[in-house]
C-alpha cells in the first residue's frame, strides 16, 4: 500500500489516519492562548475551540455535530466539558479557548450526561449495525462505544423515525432518513463548503428533518452532487451507493483527480485493486477536502466495457481492425513512420501530447518527437485552449503561468471573473470563491451569458458586464482607460516594478479617447457607466484578483486579451501578494503541465525557445542527439500540411482532435489524408475512427506520475491498480522509441521527473521524495525556492521588469450578416468533461444526455422555435442540428451550446479563425443562422453512418495477427 507522509509529524502514516477530524476549523491569529486540558498545557491561536485544542493533544472528546471543515453548531451536546470557574457544562465545540482556562474532559458527571445524550439518539435509531453499510465507519457507532452506552432505557416503542423512507434518486448516493440524527452537518456542508444551499432542516423538535430543495428528491432539487454532505454525515444516512453495494474499503491511496485544472487530491478507498469510493483529501492543498461530482463520483469510465485493452492495427480505415501484440503494433508503427520519413522527409510526421496524461508521459512524447522523429512537430491541446495564456503572460509578466494559489482568493476584496464559468468548469474553486463572496468580497463578472455566479444563493455580482462575444479586448481597454483617466494607477508599483518605456507607450495608447467606455459601448454592448463603475471597483480594491478562462483565450484576439488583463493587474499593483494576481483557470487536469513539459513546437521544457543554442545543447547532451533549431508545426499547420500532402504520420496520445478541434470537416479531411495515425487512448474515440494503429491507454488509476494544476501545483498520481492493457502510457512511448531505434531507459516515472528536474531550471528541486513529503509543490522549485513558490512575482517579474503591452482592439473577421445574424458561443457544463469520452461513460450522463442550443426568447419567437424543438445551426463552416432550450441567460443575438457529445457537431460550425499570435481557435465567436428543422443535418447522418461502420470494424477486430504490413 502507498503510504502517506505527514509533514507535521515527519513520519509515514496510513492515509486514513491522515484524515483525522479535529472537530472545528483551524483558526489563524498572531495572539496565542495557553490553557490546560486534563492537566496538560497547550498553546493554540486565539479563536481555537476547546474541542480542537483537546484534539491536538490527542484527547478525543466525543462529538457528533462538529467537524473541522464546518463552523460549530453546538446541537448534539455530546462534547460537553467541565471548565473551572464556568457554570454548567459547556459544549467544547462552541467554546473558544481563554488564557489560563482549566478544562476537564473526563469526569463521572460528564460521562453520565454523555451516555444520556447517546441513549436519546439511539432510542430513535435502527439497531442494524451489523448489516448497516457504515458498519466500521460510523461516528454514531464509535461514539456509542466511546461513551460506554450499554442500555437504552427509553425503549424503541415510542414515536420514532425508524420507518422513514430512503431517497435513492441520486445515481451516486442514498439518503436513508431513518438513520438521520438531525445533526445538520450535511446542511452546513452544503452551505459552507459547497455554497449551494440545497438542504435545510424543516420542522422543529421531534418533527425536524433534513429536506432537499423544496421538500423534493435529491435529484429534483438544486443539489449538484458534490458529495460534501455525504462526507459530512456521521451516520449512514447519506451514503455512497458503492459502499452500500460493496462494503467498506480495506486500504486507501492518495492520488489526484484526472478531470479539470483544479487538480483536487483524493483518497481512493480500495478493496484490493478495486476503487470503491473517491473521497476528497482533507490535506489536499488545491481542494482542501472538497470535490465536485466528476472527481468524487464519475470514475466508473475507467472500467467501462468500452475500454480497449488490446493493441490493434490496420492498413486503411476502410478495413476491420486486427488485434496484435504490443510488439507487433509498435513494429508496425515504427516501419510506417520510418518509411513515411524516408519518402516524404523528416518533417512529415509529428505528435500531439495529452493534457490528460502525466507530466512524465507528456515529456516523453515531446522527447520522442525531438530526439527520434528529429523534428519539432509536437503540439498539445493547449493550442486550442490556453496557448494565448502562455504567450500573453510570458510577454508581460515573463512567466507563462498563473500567479497565485486558489486559496489566495480568500484574501481578495474584489474578484473579476472574465470569460470563465467556474461553477461548471472549475467547481471546487467556485465553492471557495463563493465562500469569499459570502464573507463580503465584491464580484464583477464579464460574460456574454448570465452564468450561475452572477446570481447564486447568498451571493450576487456587483456588476455583470454582459458584453458581445468577441469584444473582450475593447472592454479590457475601456477598463484600463478608466484607470488612467480617473488617476487610479498604482504609480509606486509601476515605477518600482515595470519597464518605463513600455509603460509610457501603453499610457499614451490607452489614454486615447477611442478606448473610453463612452466610445466603445457600441462595440461591447456594455453601458459606459456600468463599465466605469466596474473599473473603479477593481482599481480601488485593496486586493483585486482576476480569474479568466477560455472565454478570454479562444478568440482571434485571445493573446491581446490576456496581455490586457496582465496590464490591468500591473496598472493597479495587483500582483505579487495574496489575494491579487492574474489567474488563468485551466481546462484539463494537466494542461499546465503539458505546456511546462515542452509540448509546443517552438519550446523545449520550461518554455525555452528551440532556437536558443545553450538550451538546445543541454538537451542534446542529455539525449545524445542533435536537435532541430527550427520550430515545428502547430496542430492547425499539421492539418493544412496533411491536406496539402506533406504531413503523413501522427502519434496522438490521449487527445481527441476529431471532436475537440474547430471546423470538424476540415479536421476529418486532414485525418483522412494521412497514411499512419496512431491513437493511444482508453476508448475508440472520434480520432481513433481515422486511425491505423490503436495503442490502448492507461487511466490515471493505472499509473504513477504527476499532474500540474492551474496553480502550478505538481501533485502525485499514484497507481491504484495494474494497467488493463499491461502498460502505463509512459512505457508505451519508451517502447515506441525503442522500436524506432532509440533507447529511453527508465525504470519508474520518478526517473523521468529526475531528468526533467535536471534539465529545467523551474523544476530543479522537484523529485518524488519531496512531493511525497510536502504533498504537492508549486513551481518554480529550485535552489531559490526549495519548497516551491505559492505566489509569483513578489519582488520582481522573474528577474525582470513587468512589461505593459499595447492591445489595440481589432474586430474579429467573423461578422454577422443577414445570412448569419446570430453569434454562437460555446462552453462547458458541470456534469460533463470536455469531449465527454469519460463522463459520457458514467451516470453523469443523466444530467446532460445531449448538447442543446440555448437561445433567447426573442430570437426563438422570431423563428417560431419552442422549447425542445430541433433547430438547424448553419455557419460559414458547416451545419448541424440540436434541440433548443429557450433561456434568458442569453442576450438577444447570441446563442450558446456545449460540445460534450460528438453527434452534436458543435465544432462542425466553428470556423478556422484563430488567435493572431498562437492560432488558438476562435471557438467563442461564430456567426450562425438558426432555423427550425425536422431532421438531423447532413453531417450528422454521415457521422452516424461512419461511426456505425467503424464500430463494426472494431467488433470484427480479429485475432490472431496476420501480417498486413
Ligand atoms: S443526514 Fe447525516 S449529516 Fe445530515 S442531519 Fe442527518 S445524520 Fe446529520
Ligand atoms: S451533494 Fe453537495 S450540493 Fe448536493 S446536497 Fe450534498 S452538499 Fe449539497
Ligand atoms: S473540481 Fe476538477 S479536479 Fe476537483 S474533483 Fe472536480 S473535476 Fe476533479
Ligand atoms: S459536537 Fe459539540 S455540540 Fe455537537
Mean pLDDT of 934-950: 91
Does ligand 1 lie within 6 Å of residue 185's CB atom? Answer: yes
**Grid cell in block for residue 220:** 429534483
Residue 961 has pLDDT above 90, yes or no: no
Determine how β-strand 442-446 pairs with β-strand 414-418: parallel
* Beta bridge partner(s), residue 707: 715
Residue 11: the pLDDT is 47
How deeply is 681 buried, as exposed, middle or buried, from its count of CB atoms within 10 A (0-12, 13-18, 19+)? buried
Over range 730-739, report the average pLDDT.
Answer: 97
Least Cα distance to 579 among 443, 413, 432, 796 occurs for 413
Q: What DSSP string runs through 383-410?
A: GGTTHHHHHHHHHHHSSSS--S-GGGGG
Position 836 scores a pLDDT of: 86
Instruction: Tell me the C-alpha distance between 391 and 380, whole Å.
Output: 14
The pLDDT assigned to 193 comes to: 96
Ligand 4: centre distance to CA 961 (Å): 66
User: Is the CB of residue 837 less than 8 Å from the CB of residue 533?
Assistant: no
Residue 19: band (very low, low, confident or very high) from pLDDT cuts 50, 70, 90? low
Alpha carbon of 85 to ligand 4 centroid (Å): 21
180 pocket-lining for ligand 1 (C-beta < 6 Å): yes
Ligand 2 atom 2: the closest Cα is on which residue? 226
Phi, psi values for residue 466, rounded to 5°: -90, 80
Please indicate whether residue 237, judged by its CB atom, sits closer than 6 Å to ligand 1.
yes
d(CA 272, CA 296): 19
835 in helix, strand or coil?
Answer: coil
Q: Which of ligand 3's atoms lies nearest the C-alpha of 428?
A: 1
Is the predicted pLDDT of residue 259 greater than 60, yes or no? yes
Between 764 and 10, the more confident residue is: 764
Would you place residue 348 in the very low, low, confident or very high pLDDT band (cuts 50, 70, 90)?
A: very high
Of 134-138, 188-192, 534-538, the poorest mean pLDDT is in 134-138
Least confident window among 141-145, 396-400, 621-625: 141-145
Query: Does ligand 2 come within 6 angstroms of the Cβ of 568?
Result: no
Q: At what angle do helices 558-571 and 472-485 cross, to 10 degrees?
A: 20
pLDDT band at 604 (very low <50, low <70, confident <90, very high): very high
State the helix-helix crossing angle for 472-485 and 500-510, rounded to 10 degrees: 100
Closest listed residue to residue 930, CA positions, set 850, 834, 816, 811: 816
Mutate to test the pocket of ligand 2, among 171, 172, 201, 224 (most ligand atoms within 8 A of CB): 224
Q: Best of 210, 227, 232, 240 to mutate for ligand 1, by most ligand atoms within 8 A of CB?
A: 210
The answer to whether residues 299 and 275 touch, using CB atoms and an 8 Å cutoff, is yes
Which atom belonging to ligand 2 lies closest to the Cα atom of 293? 1
Nearest CA to ligand 1 atom 5: 182
What is the position in ligand 1's atom list of the atom closest to the CA of 140?
Answer: 7
pLDDT top residue among 246 and 159: 246
Q: Which atom of ligand 2 is nearest to the CA of 197?
A: 8
Ligand nearest to the CA of 423: 3
The answer to whether residue 353 scores a pLDDT higher than 70 is yes
Hey, is 558 helix, strand or coil?
A: helix
Rounded Cα distance between 63 and 142, Å, is: 10
pLDDT surpassing 70 at residue 356: yes
3-state secondary structure of 903: helix
Query: How far does the centroid of ligand 2 lie from the alpha carbon of residue 164, in Å?
Result: 20
State which of 50, 79, 140, 187 you would mutate to test the pocket of ligand 4, scoring each by most atoms of that ligand within 8 A of its C-beta.
79
Q: Which of 64, 81, 110 to mutate to test the pocket of ligand 4 (most atoms within 8 A of CB)?
A: 64
Quick one: pLDDT band at residue 151, thresholds 50, 70, 90?
Answer: confident
Average pLDDT over every residue of 672-690: 96
Q: Which three cell numbers stand for residue 739?
A: 522500436
Residue 207 has a pLDDT of: 81
Is pLDDT at 733 greater than 90 in this prediction? yes
**Which residue's CA lies nearest to atom 2 of ligand 1?**
233
- Judged by its nearest atom, the ligand closest to the C-alpha of residue 279 is 3
Verify whether ligand 2 is closer than 6 Å to residue 710 (CB atom). no
Per-residue CA distances from 240 to 5, 168, 504, 512 (Å): 27, 10, 59, 59
What is the per-residue pLDDT for 661? 87
Please tell me the predicted confidence (pLDDT) of residue 18.
Answer: 55
Give the pLDDT confidence of 433-486 residue by residue, as tens digits.
999 999 999 999 999 999 999 999 899 999 999 999 999 999 999 999 999 999
What is the residue-wise DSSP string for 196-250?
---EEEESSGGG-EEEETTTB-GGGSS-----HHHHH-SSSSEEEHHHHHH---S
Instruction: Please tell me the pTM assigned to this model.
Output: 0.93
Relative orientation angle of helices 558-571 and 387-397, to the nearest 10 degrees: 40
At residue 962 the predicted structure's pLDDT band, cuts being 50, 70 and 90, is very low
pLDDT, residue 906, reads 84
Asked if 422 contacts 429 with a C-beta cutoff of 8 angstroms, the reply is yes
Closest CA to 430 of 187, 193, 709, 708: 193
Q: Identify the H or E element spanning 777.
A: strand 776-778
Who wins on pLDDT, 503 or 117?
A: 503
241 CA → ligand 2 middle, Å: 15
Which one has a higher pLDDT value, 19 or 770? Answer: 770
pLDDT value at residue 904: 87
| Dihedral over alpha carbons 410, 416, 420, 423 (to 10 degrees) | 40
- Each residue's pLDDT tens digit, 814-857: 999 999 999 999 988 888 988 888 999 999 999 999 999 999 99
758, 766 contact by CB (below 8 A): no
Give me the pLDDT at residue 339, please. Answer: 97
The most confident of the ranges 139-143, 567-571, 935-939 is 567-571
Buried b (16+ CB within 10 A) or exposed e, 193-228: bbbbebbbbeeeeeeeebbbbeeeebbebebbbbbb
Exposed, middle or buried by CB within 10 Å (0-12, 13-18, 19+), for 743? exposed
Cα(92) to centroid of ligand 4, in Å? 7
182, 200, 211: residue to mutate for ligand 1 pocket, most atoms within 8 A of CB: 182
- Which residues are paired to 32 by β-bridges? 45
Higher-scoring residue by pLDDT: 697, 17:
697
Q: Is the pLDDT of residue 152 over 80?
A: no
Asked if the model's pLDDT at residue 7 lies above 90, the reply is no
Catalogue the E-assigned strands of 520-626: 544-548, 582-584, 603-604, 608-609
What band does 156 get if pLDDT is binned at 50, 70 and 90?
Answer: low
Distance 484 CA to ligand 3 centre (A): 39
Q: Is 674 in the pocket of ligand 4 (CB under 6 A)?
A: no
pLDDT digits (tens, 9 = 90+) for 69-91: 999 999 999 999 999 999 999 99
Can you give the pLDDT at residue 119? 84
Which backbone phi and psi does 666 adopt, to 5 degrees?
-65, -40
Closest ligand 4 atom, residue 92 Cα = 2
Give per-residue pLDDT as tens, 171-186: 999 999 999 999 999 9
Ligand nearest to the CA of 60: 4
For the Cβ of 286 lying below 6 angstroms from any atom of ligand 3, the answer is: no
| Mean pLDDT on 735-750 | 97
Helix ranges restricted to H, 345-499: 359-367, 387-397, 422-425, 427-438, 472-485, 491-497
Amino acid at each position: 500500500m502507498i503510504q502517506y507522509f505527514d509533514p507535521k509529524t515527519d513520519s509515514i502514516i496510513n492515509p486514513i489516519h491522515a484524515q483525522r477530524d479535529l472537530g472545528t476549523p483551524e483558526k489563524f491569529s498572531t495572539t496565542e492562548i495557553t490553557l490546560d486540558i486534563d492537566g496538560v498545557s497547550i498553546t493554540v491561536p486565539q479563536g481555537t475551540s476547546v474541542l480542537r485544542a483537546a484534539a491536538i493533544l490527542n484527547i478525543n472528546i466525543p462529538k457528533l455535530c462538529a467537524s473541522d471543515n464546518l463552523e460549530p453548531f453546538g446541537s448534539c451536546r455530546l462534547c460537553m466539558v467541565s471548565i473551572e470557574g464556568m457554570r454548567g457544562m459547556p459544549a467544547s465545540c462552541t467554546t473558544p479557548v481563554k488564557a489560563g482556562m482549566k478544562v476537564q474532559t473526563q469526569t463521572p458527571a460528564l460521562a453520565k450526561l454523555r451516555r444520556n445524550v447517546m441513549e436519546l439518539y439511539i432510542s430513535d435509531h435502527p439497531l442494524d449495525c451489523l448489516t448497516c453499510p457504515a458498519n466500521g465507519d460510523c461516528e454514531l457507532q464509535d461514539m456509542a462505544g466511546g461513551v460506554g452506552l450499554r442500555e437504552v432505557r427509553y425503549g424503541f416503542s415510542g414515536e420514532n423515525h425508524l420507518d422513514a423512507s430512503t431517497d435513492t434518486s441520486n445515481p451516486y448516493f442514498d439518503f436513508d432518513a431513518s438513520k438521520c440524527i438531525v445533526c445538520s452537518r450535511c446542511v452546513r456542508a452544503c452551505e459552507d463548503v459547497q455554497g449551494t444551499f440545497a438542504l435545510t432542516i424543516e420542522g422543529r423538535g421531534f418533527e425536524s428533518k433534513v429536506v432537499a430543495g423544496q421538500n423534493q428528491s435529491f435529484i429534483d432539487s438544486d443539489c449538484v452532487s458534490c458529495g460534501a454532505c455525504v462526507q459530512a454525515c456521521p451516520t449512514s444516512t447519506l451514503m455512497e451507493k458503492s459502499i452500500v453495494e460493496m462494503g467498506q474499503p480495506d486500504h486507501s491511496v492518495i492520488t489526484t483527480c484526472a478531470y479539470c485544472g483544479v487538480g483536487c487530491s483524493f483518497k481512493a478507498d480500495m478493496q484490493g485493486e478495486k476503487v470503491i469510493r473517491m473521497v476528497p483529501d482533507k490535506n489536499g492543498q488545491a481542494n482542501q477536502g472538497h470535490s465536485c461530482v466528476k472527481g468524487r463520483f464519475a470514475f466508473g469510465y475507467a472500467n467501462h466495457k468500452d475500454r480497449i485493452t488490446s493493441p490493434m492495427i490496420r492498413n486503411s480505415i476502410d478495413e476491420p481492425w486486427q488485434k496484435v501484440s504490443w510488439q507487433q503494433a509498435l513494429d508496425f508503427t515504427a516501419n510506417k513512420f520510418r518509411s513515411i520519413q524516408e519518402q516524404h522527409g523528416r518533417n512529415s510526421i509529428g505528435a500531439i501530447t495529452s493534457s490528460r496524461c502525466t507530466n512524465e508521459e507528456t515529456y516523453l512524447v515531446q522527447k520522442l518527437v525531438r530526439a527520434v522523429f528529429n523534428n519539432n512537430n509536437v503540439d498539445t491541446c493547449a493550442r486550442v485552449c490556453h496557448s494565448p495564456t502562455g504567450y500573453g503572460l510570458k510577454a508581460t509578466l515573463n512567466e507563462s503561468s498563473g500567479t497565485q494559489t486558489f486559496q489566495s482568493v480568500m484574501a481578495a476584496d474584489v474578484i473579476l471573473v472574465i470569460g470563465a464559468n467556474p461553477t461548471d468548469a472549475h467547481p471546487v474553486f467556485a465553492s471557495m470563491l463563493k465562500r469569499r463572496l459570502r464573507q463580503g468580497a465584491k464580484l464583477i463578472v464579464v460574460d456574454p451569458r448570465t452564468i450561475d455566479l452572477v446570481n447564486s444563493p447568498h451571493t450576487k455580482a456587483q456588476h455583470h458586464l454582459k458584453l458581445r462575444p468577441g469584444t473582450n479586448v475593447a472592454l479590457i481597454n475601456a477598463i484600463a482607460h478608466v484607470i488612467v483617466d480617473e488617476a487610479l494607477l498604482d504609480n509606486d508599483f509601476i515605477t518600482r516594478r515595470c519597464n518605463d518605456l513600455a509603460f509610457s507607450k501603453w499610457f499614451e495608447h490607452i489614454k486615447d479617447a477611442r478606448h473610453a467606455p463612452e466610445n466603445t459601448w457600441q462595440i461591447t454592448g456594455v453601458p459606459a457607466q456600468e463599465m466605469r463603475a466596474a473599473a473603479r471597483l477593481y482599481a480601488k480594491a485593496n486586493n483585486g484578483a482576476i480569474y479568466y478562462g477560455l472565454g478570454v483565450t479562444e478568440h482571434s484576439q485571445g493573446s491581446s486579451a490576456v496581455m490586457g488583463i496582465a496590464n490591468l493587474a500591473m496598472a493597479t499593483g495587483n500582483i505579487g501578494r495574496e489575494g491579487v494576481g492574474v489567474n488563468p483557470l485551466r481546462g484539463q487536469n494537466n494542461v499546465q503541465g503539458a505546456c511546462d513539459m515542452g509540448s509546443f513546437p517552438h519550446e523545449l521544457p520550461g518554455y525555452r525557445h528551440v532556437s536558443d543554442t545553450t538550451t538546445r545543447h543541454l538537451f542534446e547532451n542529455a539525449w545524445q542527439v542533435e536537435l532541430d533549431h527550427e520550430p515545428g508545426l502547430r496542430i492547425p499547420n499539421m492539418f493544412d500540411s496533411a491536406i496539402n500532402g506533406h504531413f503523413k504520420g501522427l502519434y496522438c496520445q490521449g487527445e481527441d482532435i476529431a471532436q475537440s478541434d474547430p471546423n470538424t470537416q476540415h479536421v476529418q479531411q486532414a485525418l483522412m489524408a494521412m497514411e499512419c495515425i496512431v491513437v493511444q487512448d482508453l476508448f475508440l474515440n472520434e480520432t481513433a475512427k481515422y486511425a491505423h494503429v490503436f495503442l490502448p491507454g492507461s487511466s490515471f488509476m493505472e499509473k504513477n506520475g504527476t499532474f500540474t494544476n492551474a496553480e502550478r501545483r505538481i501533485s502525485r498520481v499514484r497507481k491504484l491498480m495494474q494497467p488493463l492493457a499491461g502498460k502505463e502510457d509512459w512505457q508505451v512511448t519508451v517502447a515506441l522509441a525503442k522500436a524506432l531505434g532509440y533507447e529511453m531507459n527508465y525504470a519508474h516515472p520518478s526517473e523521468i521527473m529526475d531528468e526533467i528536474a535536471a534539465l529545467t531550471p523551474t523544476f530543479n528541486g522537484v523529485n518524488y521524495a519531496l512531493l511525497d513529503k510536502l504533498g504537492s509543490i508549486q513551481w518554480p522549485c529550485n535552489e531559490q525556492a526549495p519548497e516551491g513558490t505559492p505566489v509569483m512575482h513578489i519582488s520582481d517579474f522573474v528577474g525582470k521588469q513587468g512589461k505593459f503591452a499595447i492591445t489595440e482592439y481589432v474586430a474579429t473577421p467573423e461578422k454577422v450578416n443577414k445570412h448569419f445574424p446570430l453569434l454562437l458561443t460555446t462552453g462547458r457544463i458541470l456534469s460533463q468533461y470536455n469531449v465527454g469520452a469519460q463522463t459520457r461513460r458514467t451516470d453523469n450522463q443523466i444530467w446532460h444526455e445531449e448538447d442543446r442550443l440555448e437561445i433567447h426568447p426573442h430570437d426563438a419567437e422570431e423563428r417560431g422555435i419552442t422549447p425542445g424543438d430541433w433547430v438547424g445551426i448553419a455557419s460559414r463552416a458547416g451545419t448541424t442540428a440540436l434541440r433548443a432550450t429557450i433561456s434568458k441567460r442569453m442576450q438577444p443575438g447570441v446563442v450558446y451550446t456545449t460540445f460534450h457529445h460528438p453527434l452534436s457537431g458543435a465544432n462542425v460550425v466553428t470556423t478556422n479563425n484563430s488567435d493572431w499570435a498562437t492560432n488558438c481557435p476562435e471557438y467563442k465567436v461564430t456567426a450562425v443562422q438558426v432555423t427550425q428543422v425536422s431532421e438531423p443535418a447532413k453531417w450528422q447522418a454521415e457521422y452516424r453512418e461512419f461511426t456505425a461502420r467503424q464500430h463494426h470494424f472494431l467488433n470484427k477486430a480479429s485475432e490472431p495477427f496476420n501480417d498486413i504490413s
